Amino acid sequence: MKRNCAALLCALTLCAGLALPASAAEFTDVAQGSWYESAVQEVVDQGLMTGVSDTLFAPNTTVTRSTVAVVLWRMEGQPAPAQRGHFPDVPADSWYGEAADWACEAKIINGTDKGTFSDGVVTRQELAVILTRYDEYKGQTLAEGSLNLYSDADQVASWAKEGVAHAIGMGWLEGADGKLSPKGTTTRAQLAVILQRMNTQAMG
């Protein structure tokens, strides 16, 4: 499966004025040899994710909708949205404003039934759906992973089943102890690993 590797690999500018560390080793909270160290190094090198400070990556912090929007926007080369202000609760000058508007226009992240972006922690099933919509935006054929391998498959919302199945099939979403925990959260370390896997698939 091929994606636009050039867009995925380009180094992009940072938000909030933070300097891009030259190495994940500069993050004092990324343990050497940890299961996510190489992924953090890769996404930092590519400019897809940044630290929360010059020395902290915050690997155990949960991922928000705004973070996901910005990461995917950066993967696409930070395209300018056709228009601004799709969401009344996203200030035009916010660090994720352009990304949110782009994601809305690309039909990757939808607003709530009230038309708001409603930034907040993203659940595992919500993340799966967003990443699946991104693949659809890129014209990819959806994978058919099996939800039935997990004992809590019945907890996956009907609107999320296709997205979760695709994420399972792509190896982005994995269970623990036979459970998917679709309403659970994703950490920044886990998101870095998912992005690394997406990059590997794009290169394959």
The closest of 64, 52, 76, 58 to 133, measured between CA atoms, is 76
Coil vs helix vs strand at 64 = strand
Q: What is the pLDDT of residue 19?
A: 42
* Separation CA 197–CA 204 (nearest Å): 10
Q: Which helix (H) or strand (E) holds 37?
A: helix 37-45
pTM greater than 0.85 (yes/no): yes
The closest of 38, 9, 16, 35 to 25, measured between CA atoms, is 38
The closest of 88, 81, 85 to 107, measured between CA atoms, is 81
Q: What is the pLDDT of residue 204?
A: 63
**Residues of the chain under the 70 pLDDT cut:** 1-23, 204
Q: What is the pLDDT of residue 13?
A: 31
User: pLDDT tens, 68-124?
Assistant: 999 999 999 999 999 999 999 999 899 999 999 999 999 999 988 788 999 999 999
Query: How many residues belong to the chain?
Result: 204
